[in-house]
Amino acid sequence: MVATTRPGDVVWLDVADAAALPAEEVLARLGSGRAGLTTGQALDRLAMLGPNAVRSHRARWPAVLARQLRSPLLILLAVTAVASFFLGEPKDALIIGAILAASVGLGFVNEFRAEKAAEALHSQVEHRCVVRRDGHPSSVAVTELVPGDVVELRLGEIVPADLRLISVTGLECEESALTGESLPTAKATEPTGANTALAELTCIALMGTVVREGSGTGLVVATGGRAEFGKIALALGERHPETEFQKGLRRFSMLLVRVAAVLTTTIFIINVILHRPIVDALLFSLAIAVGISPQLLPAVVSTSLAAGSRRLARHKVLVKRLVCIEDLGDVEVLFTDKTGTLTEGRISFMRALDAAGHVGEEPLKFGLLCDEAIVDSGGDPGGGRVIGGNPLDLALWNSPAAATLHEQLRRYRRLAVVPFDHERRTVSVLVERDDGHRLIISKGAPEAVLARCADVPAQAAAALEAEFAAGNRVVAVATREAPGAATLTPADERDLTFRGLLVFLDPPKAGAGDALRRLAELGITVKVLTGDNPAVAAKVCADLGLPTARVLTGADVDAAADTRLAELIDKTTVFARISPEHKARIVRLQRRSGLDVAFLGDGVNDAIALHAADVGISVDSATDVAKDAADVLLLEKDLAILADGVVQGRRIFANTMKYVLMGTSSNFGNMFSAAGASLLLGFLPMLPSQILLNNLLYDTSQLAIPTDNADPEQLARPSRWDVQLIRRFMLFFGPISSLFDFATFAIMLQVFHAGPPLFRSGWFVESLATQTLVIFAIRTRRIPFFRSHPSLPLLLAALGVVSVGALLPSTPLANTLGFQPLPGLFFLTLVTMVIIYLGLIELGKHWFYLSTPPVARHREPPHAHRIHRRASRFTVASTSLPREAKTAPARP
């Protein structure tokens, strides 16, 4: 009978209190029962307590706007503009205010669009769990769980809330994310004593931990921010640990802060020494500081990432965070499993071979009895609809041969089970026939099962080798009589009688060979990590063109020290019969060589390696733990889709670096020129409002950079942030820009005999033209336009901005902005100077890149990275997150 909520029932319990009480008493206090809550009760509690979430992925415009306004330079400039308004310079103050508002607005619009794109991506990934409601099992979203729900746990799942366990079958949970304990913790249902440490609450399954072995059922006692994992995630805040791309942005920003500080201070001191008005000197200095800073860099990056994410989504690639696209482009080595990646992943049962190697149905019968398939009829092995389980069990049940055995299977009743784990590589059951005869059945990897058999016929060994050589997957079945047995443990898997082999087909995937060749062209080395037999793995890889001269096994990995194993990894493509720990060790050692490593996996045994990799990649159909450990999700398990993602990551990085290199060099040159002009001229070379307008127009044109084409060589290899390269680029190309600025000064003074308004107009147009058009030289290492074509939006944006700048001094706004119409001869001179400038930049570019060394680096993701990754599953679109209770829950 389904429990109903009674007045006085508590709505949640602390895990320490729940662990100290018997399971039945906890059920009673939460107004629940073993059949779970009713749908009405669950909805009432959800409305009362809020969703089972610790994060929100809603795009919030106030937060985006705050990021635009938090620049100290912008704030100081705005304050100074207000001060100048009250000091008698209202026109300059209003012009500066309008330009600042336009700049902030432009950045806000683009970043908010990127946030909305990220929100849309996040909404496509949903996590679900099985709960008992209204007396029946049903699948619900993790965020809809409430205290009192009864949840079923299975191998590879993430525990969706803090649970008081009410039944377990060999259940073990990996709790290192919370307790720091590396070994899985065995779980039980008996209560623990009061004041027991968190790591010793054996009757509690903690939210965010992983089911490593067995299965169980638990009662939800706390959700969201009230759960132990939720408390930790909330304490870490919303901010994720930095990616390598974000670290590069931060280091680059610090470089600009130092350069801006030196230039601003120097220019201010020069102007004060020359007895210019303090307000004008301060505004001019601050405008210089803002001018050297690429204000719209966050908008350009966000626009690039948002556009990339939309393209990736069309190619069936979802990124959990937009910045992960950049990391995906860095990949140099990809470790992947075999099933579903190199093979079709649609496993089909082919035949059953008896102990003599002949086709027979007895091994199939034992294989169907010894399984972990999920059946909606309550687990009756003789019938019902199979709705879940591992692929091999599903293939058995869905085979035509299985339908002929249903009547025989109904004669058996399962008494006990030892679930499959990746150390034993075996599952065993204790069954009883309707005549009382009891039997232990074991099924698993042939090497593991045969090692537990008392005797194996020679014909069986020969048949097994033949199937492996053909590239087929094989499972062995064995039995032992067990009269009077009532329980089953791994120790009972001994002295077995070999019963036969189950042969499955998983052919190489069509197109996998082409995808591997494409990855190779992108400079990515693919290596295979599989738990399958070495001969099978080698056969599949050889058929697809991967080198298989040497195959390492788990035994080889165990026998080699780290130094020796690192050498073997470099020479090996296929690793077979390896454990989860082996996978993680191989990934870590490969990363120590300085290479960027991605790992593609979808099983519970892949989670450790996913965490160890630079980029964790999984698929939408993967186990919960694999999806939560991954940074990138593929909607189809296809290496061609992954190659598309790598290309997008590299294109985004290439386009971002175009903006950074161009902006820093040209801005630095202009500001360096301004500092020199302050010494030579008796007036400010450009008004603060003109500097800001120049910067706004220039940055506006660069918002088209995300649409730009990338040269093949920019996509062929990963690129990394190098602040030293940016500094060298700025110091090398900036002075070239300044040469033409000083040439402009000379022409304006000597040829046109310009006063302050005409001088400022000429320099405004020249500086805008040179720093905007130089993108066409800097965007490629090739000869621009002839061997590398920019995108049409970028071309139109750059030419449009230069045209606007050239026309401004002749418009009605000229007087307001402090401009004066320019003579026609100036524009002829300008065209000549731009051509010479771009030619000189082209010559300098080839010399500069010849002397540029490659960049190398190594990183370790911090422990907090795992918490943030896993917290993403407990995320809702709304902003109403559950808060920790202000008072303790009701006590008896």
pLDDT of the residue at 109: 74
* 262 or 875, greater pLDDT: 262
pLDDT at residue number 379: 46
As a whole number of angstroms, the distance between CA 638 and CA 105 comes to 41
Comparison of pLDDT for 389 and 489, the residue scoring more = 489
Q: Reduce the secondary structure of 488-539 to three states and give it as a string.
A: CCHHHCCCEEEEEEEEEECCECCCHHHHHHHHHHCCCEEEEECCCCHHHHHH
Cross-strand partners of 219:
150, 164
Distance CA 257, CA 263 (A): 10
CB-based burial label for 98 (10 Å; 0-12, 13-18, 19+): middle
Rg of the chain over CA atoms, in angstroms?
34
Catalytic one of 17, 92, 162, 337: 337
**Residue in the block written with tokens 């069309």:** 314
Output the CA torsion 597→598→601→606 (10° steps).
40
> How many CA atoms are closer than 13 Å to the CA of 743, on its beta-carbon side?
18
Residue type, 163: L
pLDDT at residue 705 tops 70: yes
Averaged pLDDT, 286-301: 65
Instruction: Identify which has the larger pLDDT, 799 or 177.
Output: 799
Tokens linked to 478: 């064995």
Higher pLDDT, 219 or 611: 219
Residues 6+ apart with CB under 8 A from 846: 781
pTM: 0.67
| pLDDT above 50: residue 544 | yes
Pick 319 or 123 by higher pLDDT: 319
Q: Which tokens sit at 857?
A: 């680096």
Q: Tens of pLDDT along 657-677?
A: 887 788 778 777 877 787 778
> Tens digit of pLDDT for each residue in 863-890?
455 555 555 556 666 544 544 433 334 3
Specify which of 593-597, 619-623, 639-643, 766-770 reaches the highest per-range mean pLDDT.
Answer: 766-770
Q: What is the mean pLDDT of residues 61-75?
A: 69
| 166-170, 298-302, 366-370, 671-675: the lowest-pLDDT one | 298-302
Residue 59 has pLDDT above 80, yes or no: no
| pLDDT at 315 (0 to 100) | 74
What H or E segment, with its residue span, contains residue 688?
helix 688-702
**Residue predicted with more confidence, 159 or 659:** 159
Q: Any idea what the Cα angle at residue 262 is, between residues 259 and 266, rounded to 5°?
A: 140
Q: Does the pLDDT of residue 514 top 50, yes or no?
A: yes
Q: What is the DSSP letter of 37?
A: B
The widest CA-to-CA distance across the chain, in whole angstroms, is 114
Give the CA distances from residue 879 to residues 50, 53, 60, 117, 869, in Å, rounded to whole numbers and listed in that order. 10, 10, 9, 17, 19
Tokens of 748: 């304006």
* Segment (H or E) for 574: strand 574-576
pLDDT beyond 60 at 239: no
Residue for token digits 């005549």? 435
More confidently predicted of 230 and 163 = 163
The lowest-confidence range among 363-377, 444-458, 759-773, 849-863 is 849-863
Q: For the residues 446-468, what does the mean pLDDT come to?
A: 89
Whole-number Å distance between alpha carbons of 332 and 328: 9
Helices 639-680 and 244-273: crossing angle, nearest 10°?
10
479 pLDDT more than 90: yes
Judged by average pLDDT, the poorest of 182-186, 241-245, 467-471, 811-815 is 241-245
Task: Report the percentage of the chain scoring pLDDT > 90.
Answer: 23
- The rounded mean pLDDT for the chain is 80
For residue 779, is pLDDT > 80?
Answer: yes
Report the alpha-carbon distance of residue 352 to residue 689 in Å, rounded.
83
Reply yes or no on whether the pLDDT at 322 is more than 70.
no
Residue 726 pLDDT exceeds 90: no
506 in catalytic set = no
Mean pLDDT for the stretch of residues 337-341 = 79
Per-residue pLDDT at 766: 92
Q: Are 163 and 220 in contact (CB under 8 A)?
A: yes
At residue 891, does pLDDT exceed 50? no
pLDDT at residue 296, as a whole number: 61
DSSP 225: G
Q: Count of residues for the chain?
A: 892
Q: Which of 532, 212, 546 is nearest to 347 (CA)?
A: 532
Tell me the C-alpha distance between 299 and 840, whole Å.
30
| DSSP H/E element including 236 | helix 228-236
User: Is 476 or 591 the better-scoring residue by pLDDT?
Assistant: 476
Torsion angle, alpha carbons of 127, 422, 169, 51, to 10: -20
Residue 762: the pLDDT is 94
Banded pLDDT at 247 (limits 50, 70, 90): low
On whether the CB atoms of residues 23 and 166 are closer than 8 A, the answer is yes
- CA separation for the pair 55, 879 (Å, rounded): 8
1 pLDDT tier (thresholds 50, 70, 90): very low
Q: How crowded is residue 892: how many other Cβ atoms within 10 Å of its Cβ? A: 7
